[in-house]
Amino acid sequence: MKRLPIGILGSGKGSNCRAILERIRSGDLAAEARVVISDVLDAPILEIAREFFVANAYLPPGQFRTRLEPEAEEELVKMLREAGVDLVVLAGFMRVLHAPMLKAFPRRIINIHPSLTGCTVHYVDEKIDHGQIVAQREVAVLPNDTPETLHARIQIAERELYPAVIAEFCEKCPAPDL
């Protein structure tokens, strides 16, 4: 069976990562999570990877707050290449990526973020939450919504949309037969 090898990067909670790994485990998503990488040593997303028996690693980000140090970004490319990753999935990764990653994986890095009335999956470029849109989902705003209740509903939509988008990548660019 053809499975798209993916790598997941995240800095925090990992609910999107969990949704993706659950879909893979249940057979709904023809991807193979080769590695989960975090720039935060004790990020729950790494625990989730371990729970699903997926290789996982902490990547020391270096001295900057919003980006990886160039050496760290080169190291990230190396780790993803060694893992044979064809699609890089950002799931709450709190660092802006730059040339090493963008050149190594052109149109092969996607991100999800909450947008005004829902969520957006887009290709990653050098700007925050920017880049060609791949898919969007709307979420209704209810009369009694607070920012928290709306955000919670958006995150439910994210956990539906992201695996669905990855499934499309699996269909469009399947990995070669093993």
Residue 38 binding ligand GRF, by CB under 6 A? no
Please indicate whether residue 113 is annotated as part of the active site. yes
Query: d(Cα 145, Cα 131) in Å, to the nearest integer?
Result: 29
Residues in the chain: 178
E-assigned strand segments in 39-164: 56-58, 87-90, 109-115, 118-123, 133-138
Alpha carbon distance 68, 98 (integer Å): 8
Q: Binder to ligand GRF among 32, 39, 73, 158 (CB under 6 A)?
A: 158
Q: Which residue has the tokens 């990526």?
A: 97
Q: Is 16 in the site for ligand GRF (CB under 6 A)?
A: yes
The reply on whether position 13 binds ligand GRF by CB under 6 A is yes
Of 16, 10, 151, 158, the closest CA to residue 94 belongs to 10
Task: Count interface residues toward ligand GRF (CB under 6 A).
Answer: 14
Q: How far apart are CA 73 and CA 96, in angstroms?
A: 10
**Residue with Cβ nearer ligand GRF (80 or 121):** 121
Q: Tell me how far, at minimum, the Cβ of 36 lies from ligand GRF, in Å.
A: 11
Residue among 50, 117, 120, 54 nearest 90 (CA): 120
Smallest separation, CB 89 to ligand GRF (Å): 10
3 binds ligand GRF (CB under 6 A): no
Applying CB under 6 A, the span of 20-28, 69-77, 95-103, 107-115 interacting with ligand GRF comes to 107-115
Rule CB under 6 A: say whether 118 interacts with ligand GRF: no
Catalytic center residues: 113
By CB under 6 A, name the binding residues for ligand GRF: 10, 12-17, 91-92, 112-114, 155, 158
